[in-house]
Structure 1
Amino acid sequence: MKLINFLDFKPFKDIMEKMKINKDEKIDIERIKIIEKVRIWKQLSSLSGLDIDINETVASENGFIKYNEFDKLVAYIRDQKYFGEKFSLRKFHIAYNCKTLSDSRKSRDASKYKIVQNKSPEFTINILSEDAKTVIEANVIKKLEVCTNCLKALNYKNFLNVSKSEQDKIKNEFSFEEFLGTEFDKNEELIKSYNLDDIENDRLRLYPKNWEEISYNYRKSKNWICEECRKDCSKNKEELETHHIDHNPSNCSFSNLKALCKTCHAKIHPHMQ
């Protein structure tokens, strides 16, 4: 079988051109992978989490939620609605084969999830009206409960074989630190071993030449309103920035962009604060 010469492979050459990399320059494929991994981690480890279609995740060997080499992830829905006069917070998920997540993968809820990994029991959510047209509270920090179906799917702490009172105790005393074990610290140490300044310089090389025009047109299409907290930035357009959902600055299709005020953008990229 003839191997592909990637330096003559047009899609790869197009990427190199966008990154302004000379064809004679040595390409470090491993470094490109590291850059992508760091970008994803920065969002995963923030309180806001990473926007994702839950179908993009996979099951880890032990039945946890896994994405792009990151294991033991937590999934939750950011936009939560009133139902009539009542409002109750939806639960967070830790098991890939949880019945709730399995049902969500087949419904419109699949694209509404965020995934996170940090030791905080708190989540950033928006509280919406029943028709989802009005934001009652934006970017509020709330404690959520662990999903019972997840505990069953994992048989977490022998959940299926203990009494109802013991099950309630497992739910009420669920600890992120205990659940994650060394997973979070391991990822943090790995990311810290990379040079963030170098990574940001690599990121800047990926932007297309007409990025400012693309960004302006996208923010204008959203009427200068932050898509996260709904802040109106029409009187101060510099307050609204354009975020790449997949963290790839060369992917500037509108479906990959999100208009965020500086405050919301900084929550996704903590180093911008």
Structure 2
Amino acid sequence: MKLSVNFSGLLAAVQLMEPEEKGGFSLEYEPTNIDKLDLELSVGKDVELKDVEIDSGLLSYKGRQVLLYIKANGNSARFHVSDCSTLKSMRSSGRFERYVVTNDTSGEFIVSNGSGRGETKARLKVCQNCLRQLNYKGCNTGSSIYPIVQNFDLNKFFSTYSSFFPHMPQRQAASAQTGYTDDWQRVSSHYKVEKEFKCEECLVDMSKHRLHLHTHHINGVKSDNKPSNLKVLCVDCHSKQAKHDHMFVAHDIRQLINDLRQEQGLLNQLSGWNALLAVADPGLHGAIHACQQFGTKLPDVGYYVGDEFGELVAKLELAWPKHKFGIAVSNHDREEANNEGWNVVSADEFLANYKSQASNLRW
């Protein structure tokens, strides 16, 4: 059906105001840069459990990281973020109930009131089995899970595992002001030059990859441009700062930064587990916490596996070269390394049986 709109009343009102200069007006369709699927996931999409894919132990829907819950369970429902024992049990018993998948990180979910009384919004708790499955923040190898559940932040969780997924979360642009001053681009550029394009956290030289070097406000106040409040950080270090849970970093960017750190000799002498956590992909922190608790040797970060001709075939996020064992995010990297005689697994495969897999990594 053709849409016909009459703006004669509006134009007459403009004439009454006697503008100094007449302007033109046209009604045109302006497409959004938000994918239709992302819009659906932002409000929740009804699916069956069999429709949800598993990617490195995490829940995925058409390449997007998601969480899921059962709307009919009301405000007593728990939302799931990984392929935990609860979901595995439901799948094995054939219980394919209707779920809602979403990438909304507000923490509020639309649930049923019960007895056909409509729907309402409720704040749900995260499934504890999901967090244990991932050893999130070490909750399965030492840290108490109670404060982790109580303070669980979906933005932080999604950003932690952002490099595991090919599609970055898309959000509609906020209408509010960013808070940066009008001269921020100039201030930021000059400060990066002053610091010679080096990250002040990990010391990596980003002069050839300046797009991935940021200027960070230490106190979080974006209008406070005093030099004492500024810090130049690579995007990897920037994403790990407090209150930067909105930053999602792709896998190839994290690999690039560790490639540069490796080339510049910054990964050769890591001083311990905290230093390792600072440079490793945050999605592997659960595996690292398990290694630390079990007492393995400190692994290499950003290790290259070559073929018989010396050609690079795979990049491993964590590696124990002596044992030809490693952990990698990419399926391709795992397959290629295994073809060269290595035993390379994903983070969730490692965590599923880490004591057995890591038994010979203690020496």
- Shorter chain as denominator, the TM-score bin is 0.3 to 0.5
The higher-RCO structure (CA 8 Å, 6+ apart) is: 1
TM-score (norm 1): 0.45
Higher-helix-fraction structure:
1
